[in-house]
């Protein structure tokens, strides 16, 4: 991965500005590079706020729903590593109940069962 982009993602991960989530979503999760998508998804999980977790859970083709298994598994691992899982559980429950796409619902249910273990 490009060193400069990696550094930008790291800076956005700890950035206090909420606009950093938008930048990560726009430029990171839509990147054709698997490594950049993986790093961005992990960065969004690390932020552990509603808006950032929503990006990697409810969007098709992003985060846990990424077509690349490496990106999806890496995101799930990062979710499992969270100390405070309150917000992520809340979003997962809402996704399982209300999301229109069945695959997204199933993925959310799988992650929730993993968290319950």
Nearest to 46 by CA among 82, 70, 4: 82
Question: Contact between 17 and another protein (CB under 8 A)?
Answer: yes
30 touches another protein (CB under 8 A)? no
DSSP letter, residue 63: G
Q: Which of 16, 100, 116, 117 binds another protein (CB under 8 A)?
A: 16
User: What separation in angstroms does the CA of 98 have from each of 77, 92, 105?
Assistant: 24, 10, 8
Q: Which is nearer to another protein, 41 or 107 (CB)?
A: 41
User: Which residues of the shown chain bind another protein in the complex (CB under 8 A)?
Assistant: 2-5, 7-8, 11-17, 19-20, 23, 26-27, 31
């Amino acid at each position: 991965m490009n060193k400069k982009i990696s550094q930008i993602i790291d800076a956005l991960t700890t950035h206090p500005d909420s606009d950093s989530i938008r930048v990560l979503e726009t430029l990171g999760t839509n990147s054709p590079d698997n490594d950049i998508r993986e790093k961005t998804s992990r960065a969004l999980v690390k932020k552990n706020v509603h808006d950032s977790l929503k990006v990697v859970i409810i969007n098709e083709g992003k985060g846990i729903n990424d077509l690349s298994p490496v990106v999806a598994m890496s995101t799930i691992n990062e979710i499992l590593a969270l100390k405070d899982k309150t917000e992520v559980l809340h979003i997962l429950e809402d996704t399982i109940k209300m999301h229109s796409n069945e695959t997204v619902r199933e993925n959310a249910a799988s992650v929730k069962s993993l968290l319950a273990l």
